[in-house]
Structure 1
Amino acid sequence: MPPRTARAHRSPTGRGATRCSAPTARPPFDEDCLTLNVWTPGADAAKRPVLVWIHGGGFISGSGSLPVYSGDTFARDGDLVVVTVNYRLGPLGYLYFGEDGAGGNFWLTDQLAALNWVRDNIAAFGGDPDNITVAGQSGGALSVAALAGTRPKGRPLFRRAILQSPPLGLKIPTRAESLQRTALYLDILGVKNVAELRAVPWPRLIAATFDMFGRTGRWGYWSTPFLPVIDGATLDRDPADLLLSGAGADIDVLIGWTREEANFAFALSEPYVAATKDQVIARARDTFGNRAAQAYTAYEEARPGARPVDVLMDLISDDLFRMPAVALAERRAARGRPVWAYQFNLPTPAHDGQLAAAHCLELPFVFDNFDKWSHAPFLTGLNPRIREGLAATVHASWISFIRTGDPNHHPMPRWDRYDRDSRTTMALDSVTTAVDDIAGYWRRLHHPATP
């Protein structure tokens, strides 16, 4: 089913951004969700650069119609056409059935339908179909990587990619592993086969997700009850690999992470706050093997006064987000492919500072729309002057990258491409600074054989 959009209209003044669907504080929750939203400064022949935003949400939640993802600031400040997309989530988007060699990844084919719609129709909204940037955060950033390998009719679907906190450390299941997870889900619902599953109302399918958390969760890991599948049809390899060869190699990439990603999920969890050193070392063995105790000490010494839960959160942050993102930057740089890297460092004082620079914290800075985040307690206490100054810098960098393929703009410090000599990474903080090899110590800890 192709995405739909309402008819565009211009603002009375002819300036600013026009949203092409009715505004809503709470997007409708429905199986009929293959819609998209468009913001444009004018439905004319201006051929503006296009930003397509793919929301995250752990593969089970979120919406491109949430006010926090409103495209008006990008359209207004960057003279861009902005599109946000919706796609199927949870069991509707990620269950795999392996029927007659058919593919899975309905979430991905939904997103491809949206991108094809943009290529075919965005010129009518004042956009340039040959100058598209696809951006996303978390699960949405993983989607951006997965989409990078597509080249229908020999033409790349987009020119640039922005990956914010992509969970590239996830092990994407094989077909056999995904079928095992599907069997688990059928057992939760008490149905015997796909035919019976199709008769279950969709609200009950969504409700069963809560039981999937309990059945699939592992201590010390970010819970993901539903995952993509390497099915050989819609996705034939790990998404990160798609940015290294074929269509993905020619895409300009901006990639980054927050300094304390995992604090978002674990810092306020009482069971994890009570974690012991022995528990964390046992978890560290999955990553470091017989070097687990050494790694624990390294993480402990890097954060004065660290508790076992702090070591665990830093380890998860590196395993799931930072080290795989650095590895992708390393591999692209080794091939001479353009890549810029950042680390978002500004901590939030909310919850007595326990969240630090957590997962999702960069989003209101990227969109520069704090008025849309008034309901978000994780922003409480941020100094308005620092907050607004950093938001202006980050927002302008994203606009510059979308327009030119280069995030540099005046007056921020020079942001060089990530290469194997300097490994320049922009540290986004109250004072934004370009840092050489910001993750070098941890990169070598995780991979001792690397320089």
Structure 2
Amino acid sequence: MAQTQQGIYIGRQITINGTNVNYWYGIPYAEQPIGNLRWMPPRILATSNGTKEAYIPNACLQEFDFGIQRTEACLTLNVYAPENATNLPVFVWRHGGVTVTINYRQGLFGFLADEELYGERSGMDNRKTTGNYGILDQIVALDWIKKNIAGFGGNPEQITVGGESGGGISITILLASSLVSKGTFQRAIVQSGSMWPHIMDTLQEAINNTGNALRSITNCITVQCLRNLTGDQILTAQHIIASKRFMGIPAVPVIDGYVVDDILENYYARGNFQKVPILIGSTANETTSNTYRMFGDKVNSTQVEEFLKTLYNAIIIDEIPTIYGPISAFHNPFTYLNIIYTDAWVHCGARRIATRFSNYGLPTYLYTYNHLVSAAPSWAGVTHGVELPMLFPTILSYYYRNYTFTTSDQQLSSKQETNQALKVYRQALVDLGEL
């Protein structure tokens, strides 16, 4: 049982490798964003009493089906803790010690920007905001964890936030946003989340790309009409919008003047970020899975050069051969494309963030994950997300069906077996704040 400001939650227990682990699923951390609370900042729960069971997980409404109930009433979190846990370090993970995983609104449900919604002034102190509901969910979730995690055996003064891909991007925003109080968390882990060229739209871009697009598809004139749409109608529209967006991403966080009011790079350049220890990095070949969907692995030199021209200005295009050599020197233009694109899309951002933290004398750790799983397609290399089964082996089957770890895979996945495992570094940062 765990005591919280909303009463007592009764969880369950499972034994993993001889260790008893308590878990609680589906604990609400905010009022549910349904009805007229759709596309509103999350509302903090009132204090209450009572005893509730917490063993049924859910997921926020999305296109992918992982066998878990999907619903808009999804502002919940899951907690895992060793039996008899007391004052242990806490790790908060986005899609050792006490681990918390949180659900937050995604896609159009979490990142739709709309002119009329912006005019509702739904932020604190009657401030305007739109498009960052998923980020605001995470801020409220962290506040709930800070206030309640002691009831699960966690230390509220030793919280590490971490995430990969979109979750990692969220961490870079939370580190910069003035809405996150100092001391909310003490450490940060960013995996493949430093995608500065693409991670945020300006307010008007976001309104055009999401709010106006949804209105056009659904023939809705008012926000009330949008709020009356079914979840499935929004998912259908989201699929259409995603098909026309870069990398198939329907919506991204927004520079709305509330969560953030400038591009993230400027926040970090000015030193406007939470001064905490950080572990940040990416995989060696981040972009191959995306470029393969666009071109296949047999892309030719002309296609590569034309694609790069759509991303970068003439000055950068002229510098690329000087830095990387001519494309003719590469046997496969696909390789050339992804070396450049991975650097620009992720590696450079990670290095810049790490440099900013290091300049303030903060414990700063920069990594590149380069373990290649034998089941991976030959074109993929160490692509985006492939480190996750090593950190969370239970999801291995989602990545490689009917595949089992080789000896080298097992050594990398097991924190007891190798000092090079990313798991070791993450655990050390969570426990100690340093490696």
> Which TM bucket (shorter chain)?
0.7 to 0.9
Q: Secondary structure at the match of 1:251?
A: coil
State the partner residue of 1:141: 168
Q: Greater strand share, 1 or 2?
A: 2
| 2:129 pairs with 1:88 | no
State the partner residue of 1:434: none
Q: Secondary structure at the match of 1:39?
A: strand
The aligned amino acid for 1:120 is: K
In structure 2, relative to structure 1, the CA distance for the partners of 1:395 and 1:48 (3 Å cut) is: same
In structure 2, relative to structure 1, the CA distance for the partners of 1:360 and 1:338 (3 Å cut) is: same
Q: Tell me by how many angstroms 1:241 deviates.
A: 5.1
In structure 2, relative to structure 1, the CA distance for the partners of 1:4 and 1:360 (3 Å cut) is: farther
Moved more, 191-200 or 104-113: 191-200
* TM-score of the pair, normalised by structure 2: 0.77
| 2:391 pairs with 1:363 | no
Percent identity of equivalent pairs: 25
State the partner residue of 1:115: 142
Whether contact under 8 Å (2:373, 2:409) holds in the other structure is no
Whether contact under 8 Å (1:142, 1:239) holds in the other structure is no
State the partner residue of 2:90: 50
In structure 2, relative to structure 1, the CA distance for the partners of 1:241 and 1:381 (3 Å cut) is: farther
Report the Cα distance in structure 2 between the residues aligned to 1:284 and 1:4, rounded to whole angstroms: 55
Whether contact under 8 Å (1:281, 1:293) holds in the other structure is no
State the partner residue of 2:60: none
State the partner residue of 1:203: 232
Q: What does residue range 215-226 of structure 1 map to in structure 2 within 5 Å?
A: 215-217=244-246, 222-226=247-251
The aligned amino acid for 1:373 is: L
Whether contact under 8 Å (1:4, 1:34) holds in the other structure is no
Report the Cα distance in structure 1 between the residues aligned to 2:206 and 2:294, rounded to whole angstroms: 31
* TM-score of the pair, normalised by structure 1: 0.75
The aligned amino acid for 2:74 is: C
| 2:70 pairs with 1:29 | yes
Report the Cα distance in structure 2 between the residues aligned to 1:51 and 1:169, rounded to whole angstroms: 28
Whether contact under 8 Å (1:18, 1:41) holds in the other structure is yes
In structure 2, relative to structure 1, the CA distance for the partners of 1:157 and 1:5 (3 Å cut) is: farther
In structure 2, relative to structure 1, the CA distance for the partners of 1:372 and 1:6 (3 Å cut) is: farther
Q: Tell me by how many angstroms 1:301 deviates.
A: 6.4
| 2:172 pairs with 1:172 | no
Q: Secondary structure at the match of 1:145?
A: helix
Gaps of 5+ in 2: 26-54, 58-65, 122-127, 415-420
The aligned amino acid for 2:248 is: S
Q: Tell me by how many angstroms 1:239 deviates.
A: 4.0
Aligned-residue CA RMSD in angstroms? 3.1
Q: Which deviations, in whole Å up to 9, do the C-alpha atoms of 1:98-139 show, x marking residues without a partner? A: 224421210011111111110111000000111100000001
Report the Cα distance in structure 2 between the residues aligned to 1:147 and 1:26, rounded to whole angstroms: 30
State the partner residue of 1:414: none
| 2:184 pairs with 1:157 | yes
State the partner residue of 2:129: 103
Report the Cα distance in structure 2 between the residues aligned to 1:176 and 1:87, rounded to whole angstroms: 24
Q: Tell me by how many angstroms 1:251 deviates.
A: 1.1
| 2:222 pairs with 1:193 | yes
4+ runs deviating over 6 angstroms = 2-5, 244-247, 300-304
State the partner residue of 1:75: none
State the partner residue of 2:302: 278
Aligned residues: 374
Report the Cα distance in structure 2 between the residues aligned to 1:325 and 1:20, rounded to whole angstroms: 34
Q: Secondary structure at the match of 2:71?
A: coil
Q: Secondary structure at the match of 1:129?
A: strand
The aligned amino acid for 2:186 is: R
Q: Which deviations, in whole Å up to 9, do the C-alpha atoms of 1:286-318 show, x marking residues without a partner? A: 336245266258546699754223222222212
Report the Cα distance in structure 1 between the residues aligned to 2:303 and 2:375, rounded to whole angstroms: 27
Q: Tell me by how many angstroms 1:199 deviates.
A: 1.6
Gaps of 5+ in 1: 56-77, 408-451
